[in-house]
Structure 1
Amino acid sequence: MKELKGKTVLITGGASGIGKIMVRLMLARKAKVIIWDINQASIDATISDFRNGEAIFGFQVDVSNSEQIHETANRVKQQIGIVDVLINNAGIVVGKYFHEHSDSDITATMAINTNGPMLITKEFLGDMINQNSGHICNIASSGGLVSNPKMSVYAASKWALIGWSDSLRLEMEQLNKDVNVTTIMPYYINTGMFDGVKSRIPILEPEAAAATIVKAIERNKKMVTIPGYIYRFTRLGQAIMSIAVFDWFAGSVMGIYKTMEHFVGRKK
């Protein structure tokens, strides 16, 4: 989606973190922006912060609830129109060993991080196909590339998201549709979601991460890791190293396997 001016952009989880920054960046590009978020107070605050003659709308929706997704998508189409750019950004993380997870931890993580983006995309993809124009950007994680203790369910949700997202890209290409799909795989971002994480690899700043995502959409990038070397490091390392050697390098040298030891997450 090389030209964002005048386009309608829907951002899930758009009332906080990098979602809120992307709202501002899209408005700066003269796009019409729709926020989906579970927190109405945050939606109201975001709209208040950015509404200055700008076209910005907000809808409270739980992206783990398929009925709410369907109903809210219909409201968007009736009240605003076709969505040109969809950014599936909403996500959660539960930082525990797998055996410590409750059933609801598992189902909520998969519903929000994996099922939600698929169900939301399904609501808007038909219009993009019919007009032969559109862009879907799915915010996955570098946790979808590298296994990590205390992130098993989160990693599972993001591995699944990456597989679906890039398969969707290939389907659009196979059907000769001008609907672009971008899969984003960032490292830890300093938004509060991963508070307590300790890392030898620098934790990303939200402003820079959000700007990289928006530019990736403008440039029709297919798969983007932030920072860029993460993809090369993981794929090359996994290709040439045995599992034992890769575990030693990722765990002992890079310290990745210990990053979640002091995780506390965002305070509620």
Structure 2
Amino acid sequence: MSFERLQGKNIIITGASGGIGAEIARECAQKGANLVLLARSIDKLEDLRTELLSKTSITVDVYKLDVSDTNAVKAVFTDILAKLGHIDILVNNAGFGVFREAHETTIDEIKSMFNVNVIGLMACTSMVVPGMRERRTGHIINIASQAGKIATPKSSVYSATKHAVLGYSNSLRMELNDWNIHVTSVNPGPIATNFFNIADEQGTYVKNIQRFMLQPEYVASRVVDRMLTRTREINLPRWMNAGSVAYNLFPRLFERLGKGAFNKK
């Protein structure tokens, strides 16, 4: 069914140069969607564009964009809208994290994480919402994290950014409900991508939780399958999401019993 839903749709994906962003692009291309791929690495985007065009007859546009530069976001999205006319789906995937204890995280790192993970996401969203409201249709998919539901040591700032994304998404969903615009939060656990090249410089966390890591292809398929449907959240894996539910119900007990698991970084 997702093939018919997505055929000919215009989809923007931020952070599309690798990881789940690139995998979402591949899945969407197979289903006949036209793509706009955004990332800081234009070379990787061009390589992905060549790959997709060699296998499909869709259109693929690529733009170099750092979403933390709100002026650049406005300029790039204005160009995209002028060219395509409208956007059916926006996937806000760009983001990064740095795993350090709160007092060791520099102010520059804090600002950078919020500028990319939160402000950038909001800036991109604000550029497509007016057109979606006018057409009374659309879908905004925000890649958040289980870290936005369960905060753990050494991820205080990253978790704070993802808490912000969830709060923003929940409010936005209610604002846009009467306009037939869907808003979905995607909350995955750790994914086997180059995210951890920055987040986990020592490799300790990856080594400790490698057997539990999700594959980007799996996450991407779950996201694409729910495009243009009224899906509130996608939580992966299910057992980890069950932990977030328990955390909300019994936070003190959960933190005490989960102390060993939380200190894997």
Aligned partners of 1:69 and 1:251: how far apart in 2? 40
SS of alignment partner, residue 230 of structure 1: helix
Matches of 1:248 and 1:213 in 2, distance apart? 33
Find the aligned partners of 1:125 and 1:200 in 2 and give their Cα distance: 38
Change (3 A) 1:201 1:231: farther
Give the residue type in structure 1 aligned to 2:82.
Answer: Q
1:250 to 2:248 alignment: no
Higher mean C-alpha deviation, range 46-55 or range 206-215: 46-55
Q: How does 1:173-192 map to 2 (within 5 A)?
A: 173=177, 176-192=178-194
The answer as to whether partners of 1:109 and 1:157 remain within 8 angstroms in 2 is: yes
In the TM superposition, what are the counterparts of 1:1-268 in structure 2 within 5 Å? 3-52=5-54, 53-173=57-177, 176-194=178-196, 196=203, 197=205, 198-199=208-209, 202-239=212-249, 241=250, 243=252, 245-252=253-260, 255=261, 257-260=262-265
8 Å contact kept, 2:146–2:189: yes
Q: Which stretch of the first structure deviates more once superposed, 212-221 or 80-89?
A: 212-221
Look up the equivalent residue of 2:165 and give its one-letter code.
L
Deviations 1:214-250 (A, max 9, x none): 11225431112111233332123431x251x211222
When the two structures are superposed, what TM-score results if normalisation uses the length of structure 2?
Answer: 0.91
1:76-95 Cα deviation digits (max 9, x unpaired): 01122211100000001111
User: In the aligned structure 2, how far is the partner of 1:81 from the partner of 1:61?
Assistant: 20
Count of residue pairs brought into register by the alignment: 253
Identity of aligned residues (%): 26
Q: Which amino acid aligns with 1:43?
A: L
| Matches of 2:78 and 2:165, distance apart in 1 | 24
Change (3 A) 1:42 1:200: closer
Show structure 2 runs of 5+ residues with no match: 198-202
Whole-angstrom CA distance in 1 between matches of 2:148 and 2:31: 30
Q: Is the 8 A contact 1:135 1:180 kept in 2?
A: yes
1:266 maps to: none
Asked whether the 8 Å contact 1:188–1:194 carries over to 2, the reply is no
Q: Which 5+ residue runs of structure 1 have no aligned equivalent?
A: 261-268
CA RMSD, 1 decimal: 1.6
TM-score of the aligned structures, taking structure 1 as reference length: 0.90
Q: Determine the structure 1 residue equivalent to 2:200.
A: none
- Cα-to-partner distance string for 1:124-183 (whole Å, 9 max, x where unaligned): 10000000010000000000011111111100000000010111111112xx11100000
Q: CA separation in 2, counterparts of 1:201 and 1:140?
A: 21
Helix, strand or coil at the partner of 1:212? helix
